[in-house]
Structure 1
Amino acid sequence: MADFPEGAPCWADAMFTDVEAAKTFYGDVLGWTFGEASSEYGNYTQAYFNGQAVAAVVPPMPGTEAPSQWCLYLASQDADVTAEKIKAAGGELMMEPMQVGSYGTMAIAQEPSGAVFGVWQPGEHKGFERVRDSGAYTWAEFFSREPAKTDVFLSKVFPYESHQMVAGDDPDMAEMDFKIFSVGGPKNPVLGRMHMGEEFPPEIPSYVQIYFAVPNCDEAVEKTKARGGALHFGPLDSPFGRFAALTDPQGAAFAVIDLSTTVGEMPKFG
């Protein structure tokens, strides 16, 4: 796959205390297979669908305790420059830019409302080899408790254009504060931003929701529950596809979406 433009989601990985259990779970729910663990890089293990790289799993660093969670990486031509922009825009660097052999350079950051994300400057590893297809990354949204801060931050760090969703005549959309960020014009959206309202329990901080495509949303939900995961929202029909928000048995949040099952008219963005 060609290089990803600046600011576009280009990779995702997750940290799990029990990596083997995670491999079994995602192998069943998303149809992934896994390569050999790279002992040189903390047993980092890539996931594949039909032989194409779609994500990775890794255990915590020895002596550390961290919750199981997914991390989305945004593409950068120069991770050091992006890191400086993150700090200047009010974000926090949780991991300074670090070269990962010949694969590329990574950083981990937190935007002002609290959502954590990664930065990836590609070397040999360009990122996703499969997107918007079964078993692969499809979409991501910053769920923010302080959307104004998130919006300003994202636009200062990356070359995004932003477009607010217009409710129109749909009463269900009237109270929804949703924005998309695009690269190279409104026809190339790369991220969404959702305002976390009172429907979200107060103990849930701002976060990034990653969507993986599945051929059948309801089947993926049933597999998740059968494997000890949990359903938190949906399944719900939308103009984008039928989707559901889940957590795996180790507590990592993710979402699944069936892109072939669409209902309703696409919303307008101003």
Structure 2
Amino acid sequence: MAQFEIFTNDFARLRTFYESVFGWTFVPNGSRWAISTGDQGPGIDGSMVELSEKLTNGVDQCCLRMVVDDAQETYGAVLAHGGKMGTSPLPVPDVGLLAFGEDPDGNGFEVVQLVPDKPPYPA
């Protein structure tokens, strides 16, 4: 994967959510916002673009997987900043703790706290 895009009609709300919960940074780039997810561990950068029926043909969701240090802390931060969580973080053998959530616009994501010394993706 080269990058990701999050679609929204409320740039300010989602920018605040992702900055507050995951520490991402945003830089205006024409009609979109460039997103930097940071330089710690594996990951990619992306952009936030205006939701447009013409552009997405009705497909307006994405699912992001974020590796975090503390799944329970992130769970609380998501709720505190207007997101939703499906369940509390649940143990997954040989992976760690996993929880599914949504940002304030309903874009889905996974939060994963990995088992120590375990790579985030299969080799």
Report the TM range for the smaller structure's normalisation. 0.7 to 0.9
Distance 1:57 1:249, change over 3 A: same
> What's the TM-score, normalizing by structure 2?
0.76
Runs of 4+ in structure 1 off by over 4 angstroms are: 62-68
C-alpha separation in 1, matches of 2:53 and 2:101: 28
For 1:22, the aligned partner's letter is L
The normalised TM-score by structure 1 is 0.37
Alignment counterpart, residue 36 of structure 2, candidates 30, 40, 48: 48
CA RMSD of aligned residues (A): 2.7
Asked which structure has the greater CA Rg, the reply is 1
Q: Per-residue displacement from partner, 1:212-243 (whole Å, max 9, x unpaired)?
A: 11111111111111111111134111221211
CA distance in 1, matches of 2:66, 2:47: 13
Q: 2:12 aligns with which of 12, 15, 20?
A: 20
Q: Which amino acid aligns with 2:45?
A: V
SS at match of 1:220: helix
Instruction: Give structure 2 stretches of 5+ with no counterpart.
Output: 118-123
Q: 1:60 aligns with which of 51, 62, 87?
A: 51
Residue of structure 1 in register with 2:68 after alignment: 214
Kindly indicate whether the alpha-carbon contact (under 8 Å) linking 2:75 and 2:88 is maintained by their aligned counterparts in 1: no
The answer to whether the 8 A contact 2:72-2:88 is kept is no
Contact 1:221-1:231 at 8 Å conserved across structures: yes
Inter-partner Cα distance in structure 1 for 2:96 and 2:116: 5
1:21-71 Cα offsets, whole Å, 9 max, x none, are: 111001111110011232xxxx1211113368522111123888957522x
How far is the alpha carbon of 1:15 from its aligned partner? 0.3
1:256 to 95, 111, 116: 111
What number of residue pairs does the alignment pair up?
A: 112
Other-structure match for 2:90: 236
Structure 1 residues 222 and 230, CA gap change in structure 2 (3 angstroms):
same
3-state secondary structure, aligned to 1:69: coil
The residue correspondences of 1:68-217 to structure 2 (distance < 5 A) are: 68-70=60-62, 209-217=63-71
Corresponding position of 1:225? 79
Q: Partners of 1:19 and 1:69 in 2: how far apart?
A: 15
The 3-state SS of whatever aligns with 2:72 is helix
